[in-house]
């Protein structure tokens, strides 16, 4: 087999995988799902999903990758009947869709970084004219895809790992400084209270499926990104501790993002928190106003740091999304990495054009589809998110669990995890992963997948 490259150390892998996990989902999505979903009550549901459902799936994905040292399509083919490669293809499809819209939002983040540097705080009020400016956003999205492709073209240790080792510590430094700063603002405490006071009456079924979709998306699970990263992991690495550290980092940063964000909103609204439940768009509409009120010098510094943070977080995630189809083309079609990278990147950019047009630039893409029983139309980018994040990722998690437990077989999974973790076999954790992968994950993920699809696209709610 050709030399595929690999991570240079366990830490390098953890950084890269945590970099994949920590992204717009943490900074853009999580805080507002919490705000809208009952504060701490949502956090409890979310944590249960992360550690009971997602962690076993994450361990399984990494184990499948490390065992086969292949991309998802090749990996399912190698360990099971060749029909299982369909799950790999589904993951590939899902990853391509996610990257196609994610890159557009990353382009917004990067564009805002530039605008903040230039002191253009009015951009917050002009968000919709910004997103419908195809030339501008298209340009920023091009720069973003180009940077992503550049990193991936440098390979695993020289590209992905190296970028993560620079970007992740910087990101943590920026987010901690901004959080510390946010705490010094007036009304900070009201913001934190809004964020964290539990309200269990808000836990309805949509909140539960949002929590599940959010958990899968935030941890980069369900489409084989971690199968791919796992394929570059050394046999002596401990998969269980790595996965636990990746999950803790991801959850930790999402949590801190809320501690940073809500004091900002509280400051702007004088503690009334009006509009704070309005959704993830807040980052792009409200925050520039906050930065403006800090005065021109401080505003430029804090504002540009914030959007730089967002761009860095997005970059280590787009890198992991691009690596999946690239690994597929390299392994299965024997194409040189550098060539595969540029081919795939250009293709995904083109697939992203409808998303680029779906936030005001084109009426067709901006009101693309009306679900059964829905009152208003959904734009293409949101539609893609509903299909990929909320439906295909949990479905992927369901199929990956079934595959590992019943096609590849549990004892092989346990065997692989035991490599680099001698005391694993026979331990309590092994028992838990066994039960989770063969019963808990398939049952819950399968049920939630069906309920989510019925409720999201057909307006049929069986529960809640």
Q: Would you tell me which residues interact with ligand TRP (CB under 6 A)?
A: 20-21, 23-26, 98, 217-218, 220, 223, 225, 317, 320-321
Residue 211 or residue 223: which is nearer to ligand TRP going by CB? Answer: 223
Residue 310 or residue 417: which is nearer to ligand TRP going by CB? Answer: 310
- The least CB distance from residue 202 to ligand TRP, in Å, is 23
- The least CB distance from residue 220 to ligand TRP, in Å, is 4
Residue 292 or residue 317: which is nearer to ligand TRP going by CB? Answer: 317
Residue 172 or residue 429: which is nearer to ligand TRP going by CB? Answer: 172
- The least CB distance from residue 262 to ligand TRP, in Å, is 19
- The least CB distance from residue 357 to ligand TRP, in Å, is 22
Residue 318 or residue 421: which is nearer to ligand TRP going by CB? Answer: 318
CA 462 to chain centre: 28
Residue 313 or residue 357: which is nearer to ligand TRP going by CB? Answer: 313
Give the gyration radius of the chain's Cα atoms.
Answer: 21
Residue 207 or residue 314: which is nearer to ligand TRP going by CB? Answer: 314
- The least CB distance from residue 92 to ligand TRP, in Å, is 11
Residue 23 or residue 299: which is nearer to ligand TRP going by CB? Answer: 23
Q: How far apart are CA 422 and CA 419, in angstroms?
A: 6
- The least CB distance from residue 408 to ligand TRP, in Å, is 21
- The least CB distance from residue 109 to ligand TRP, in Å, is 11
- The least CB distance from residue 217 to ligand TRP, in Å, is 5
Residue 397 or residue 442: which is nearer to ligand TRP going by CB? Answer: 397
- The least CB distance from residue 396 to ligand TRP, in Å, is 9
Cβ-based burial of 410 (10 A; exposed 0-12, middle 13-18, buried ≥19): middle
Q: How far apart are CA 226 and CA 224, in angstroms?
A: 5
Q: How far apart are CA 380 and CA 403, in angstroms?
A: 32
> Three-state SS across the chain?
CCCCCCCCCHHHHHHHHHHHHCCHHHHHHHHHHHHHCCCHHHHHHHHHHHHHHHHHHHHHHHHHHHHHCCCHHHHHHHHCCHHHHHHHHHHHHHHHHHHHHHHHHHHHHHHHHHHHHCCCHHHHCCHHHHHCCHHHHHHHHHHHHHHHHHHHHCCHHHHHHHHHHHHHHHHHHHHHHHHHHHHCCCCHHHHHHHHHCCCHHHCCHHHHHHHHHHHHHHCCCCCCHHHHHHCCCCCCCCHHHHHHHHHHHHHHHHHHHHHHHHHHHHHHCCCCCCCHHHCCCHHHHCHHHHHHHCCHHHHHHHHHHHHHHHHHHHHHHHHHHHHHHHHHHHHHHCCCHHHHHHHHHHHHHHHCHHHHHCCCCCHHHHCCECCCCCCCCECHHHHHHHHHHHHHHHHHHHHHHHHHHHHHHHHHHHHHHHCCCCCCCCCHHHHHHHHHHHHHHHHHHHHHHHHHHHHHHHCCCCCC
Long-range contacts for 294-298 (Cβ within 8 Å, ≥24 apart)?
296/119
- The least CB distance from residue 152 to ligand TRP, in Å, is 13
- The least CB distance from residue 50 to ligand TRP, in Å, is 12
Residue 21 or residue 405: which is nearer to ligand TRP going by CB? Answer: 21
Residue 310 or residue 453: which is nearer to ligand TRP going by CB? Answer: 310
């Amino acid at each position: 087999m050709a030399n595929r490259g690999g991570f240079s150390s366990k830490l390098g892998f953890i950084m890269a995988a945590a970099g994949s996990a920590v992204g717009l989902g943490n900074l853009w999505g999580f805080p507002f799902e919490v705000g809208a979903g009952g504060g701490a009550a949502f956090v409890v549901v979310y944590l249960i999903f992360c550690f009971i459902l997602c962690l076993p799936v994450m361990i399984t994905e990494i184990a499948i990758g490390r065992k086969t040292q292949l991309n998802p399509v090749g990996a399912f083919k190698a360990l099971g009947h060749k029909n299982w490669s369909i799950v790999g293809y589904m993951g590939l499809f899902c990853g391509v869709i996610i990257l196609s819209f994610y890159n557009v939002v990353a382009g917004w983040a990067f564009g805002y970084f530039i605008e903040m540097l230039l002191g253009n705080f009015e951009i917050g009020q002009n968000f919709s004219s910004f997103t419908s400016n195809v030339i501008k956003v298209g340009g920023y999205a091009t720069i973003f895809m180009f940077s992503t492709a550049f990193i991936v073209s440098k390979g695993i240790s020289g590209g992905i790992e190296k970028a993560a080792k620079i970007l992740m510590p910087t990101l943590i430094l920026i987010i901690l400084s901004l959080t510390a700063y946010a705490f010094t603002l007036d009304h900070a405490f009201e913001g934190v209270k809004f964020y964290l006071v539990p309200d269990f009456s808000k836990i309805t079924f949509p909140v539960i499926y949002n929590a599940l979709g959010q958990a899968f998306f935030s941890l980069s699970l369900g489409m084989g990104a971690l199968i791919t990263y796992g394929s570059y992991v050394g046999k002596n690495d401990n998969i269980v501790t790595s996965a636990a550290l990746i999950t803790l980092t991801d959850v930790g940063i999402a949590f801190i993002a809320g501690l940073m964000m809500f004091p900002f909103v509280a400051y702007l609204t004088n503690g009334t928190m009006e509009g704070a439940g309005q959704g993830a768009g807040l980052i792009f509409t409200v925050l520039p106003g906050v930065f403006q009120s800090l005065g021109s010098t401080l505003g430029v510094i804090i504002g540009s740091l914030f959007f730089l943070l967002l761009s860095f977080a997005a970059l280590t995630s787009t890198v992991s999304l691009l690596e999946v189809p690239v690994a597929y083309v390299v392994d299965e079609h024997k194409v040189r990495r550098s060539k595969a990278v540029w081919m795939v990147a250009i293709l995904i950019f083109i697939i992203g054009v409808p998303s680029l047009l779906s936030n005001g630039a084109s009426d067709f893409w901006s009101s693309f589809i009306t679900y059964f029983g829905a009152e208003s139309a959904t734009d293409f980018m949101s539609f893609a998110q509903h299909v990929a994040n909320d439906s295909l990722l949990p479905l992927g998690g369901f199929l990956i669990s079934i595959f590992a437990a019943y096609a590849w077989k549990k004892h092989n999974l346990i065997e692989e995890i035991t490599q680099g973790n001698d005391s694993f076999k026979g331990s309590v954790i092994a028992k838990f992963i066994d039960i989770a992968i063969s019963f808990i994950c398939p049952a819950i993920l399968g049920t939630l997948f069906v309920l989510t699809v019925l409720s999201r696209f057909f307006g049929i709610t069986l529960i809640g």
